[in-house]
Structure 1
Amino acid sequence: MKIRGKKYKVSRAKVDANKLYKLSDAVNLVKETSYTSFDGSVELHLTVKKEGLSVNVELPFPGGKKKVVEVASDKTIDKLKLGKIDFDVLLATPDMMPKLIPFAKLLGPKGLMPNPKTGTVIKDKSEAADKKSAKSVLIRTEKGFPIIHTTVGKVSQKDVELSKNIVAIIDALGKNMIIKGVISGTMGPSIKLEVSQLNADSQAKAQ
């Protein structure tokens, strides 16, 4: 059994484990129960009706570390031969895909293998500028399981920003696909979301 520290126990005591919270209340509670000395992340965990879901979502208020986006080139191939990965997203034009196939086992498990379904295969390099500046994140279920884990922002962000980011994800997945949801701060307690209210918030765009 995992032993929890005193700070966690104090935070956990503020959360009713049997209660389903409205989105706005849950976001507020995440901040109230955050006890890290750094600006923690706000995480969203969803159980959906089927596995294999994958969608790019543009977050209205992205926060945290800026992702490094690379367009595949011969220099990328040289780095991959050395097992070096220094990017968070890899884009590729169709002509580069055959060169990347030998590295599928390296890139695939990390979710970095370019794929038309995730919008990471681009027609030409001119399209890369839009992809690099986009606020989109890839939301997908875990392999073999109908669950999704993703970060929606930082604890320091405004409540409405975090709520709208969550709403954007709900809308992209389809509100009827969600069975249950939980949010939490880094190392903080889990806060259950009222799914019916999530859907209502989604329709209202968290306004």
Structure 2
Amino acid sequence: MAKLTKKQKAQAEAVEGKDNLTVEEAISIIKSNATAKFDETIEIAMNLGVDPRHADQMVRGTVSLPAGTGKTVRVGVFARGAKAEEAQAAGADVVGAEDLMEQVQAGNINFDRCIATPDMMPIVGRLGKILGPRNLMPNPKVGTVTMDVKEAVEAAKGGQVQFRAEKAGVVHAGVGKASFSEADLAKNIRAFVDAVSKAKPAGAKGTYMKQVAVSSTMGRGVTVDIVSATGNG
């Protein structure tokens, strides 16, 4: 087994035996351990009592984090004419139709979020094998297939986060940066947990939220008390 560095030992000792902390306690520990030379992302992982292989147990949605994400999000929009102009005016990074499809097919994916007007979906549909695995496929359920491209672009740029349950029923996302204040991180974490709570699918049985954990990019995770994370603590 590889030996731990001094820094890794210190991080391990900081979280040892600490479980089910309040959101504020967890953030305090995570921030103090986020000592990398870059501004680490604060990440949340939620274990849910769902099996997303069943359609009635799929969890997905979006949430606008009150303090933003701290990340610059590049937005690509499939649209024509007036809707393409609207997307550009709203701050989209790349806008197009067949020309944008050809760029993506050539491996030039210069966006982190993809939005499309409904009439563009026959074109976007051809890119399913490229966009799907990257979680970039526009979907009306999360507001990325829409005629209101202005609102969708502004939401993506303004701190909106998408989430979806993976195979094991785990939802994870970045909820800010280590440089954020503890108060802003707490607001973002509670907003995210609240959105996942509201996205509880009809087919979920038993305990829906099993565990909530928070970590930084390079740091160890700590579990958070679910009542505290929902803002009811």
Give the TM-score of the pair, scaled to structure 2: 0.79
CA distance in 2, matches of 1:160, 1:71: 34
Aligned to 2:83: none
Aligned to 1:100: 124
Aligned to 2:103: 79
Aligned to 1:193: 224
Q: How does 1:159-198 map to 2 (within 5 A)?
A: 159-174=182-197, 177-198=208-229
Aligned to 1:90: 114
Query: Structure 1, residues 24-64: CA drift from partner, whole Å, max 9, x if none?
Result: 10001101112212211111111012132101001001132
How far did 1:18 drift? 5.0
1:62 aligns with 2:62: no
- Residue aligned with 1:65, SS: coil
Identity %: 32
How far did 1:126 drift? 4.7
Moved more, 30-39 or 16-25: 16-25
How far did 1:197 drift? 2.6
CA distance in 2, matches of 1:19, 1:81: 46
Give the TM-score of the pair, scaled to structure 1: 0.89
Aligned to 1:35: 35
How far did 1:167 drift? 0.4
Q: Is the 8 A contact 2:73 2:157 kept in 1?
A: no
Unmatched tracts of structure 1, length 5 or more: none
CA distance in 1, matches of 2:152, 2:29: 39
Query: Structure 1, residues 156-187: CA drift from partner, whole Å, max 9, x if none?
Result: 10001000000001111117732111111121
Q: Which runs of 4+ in 1 moved over 4 A?
A: 124-129
Q: Which amino acid aligns with 1:120?
A: T
How far did 1:125 drift? 4.2
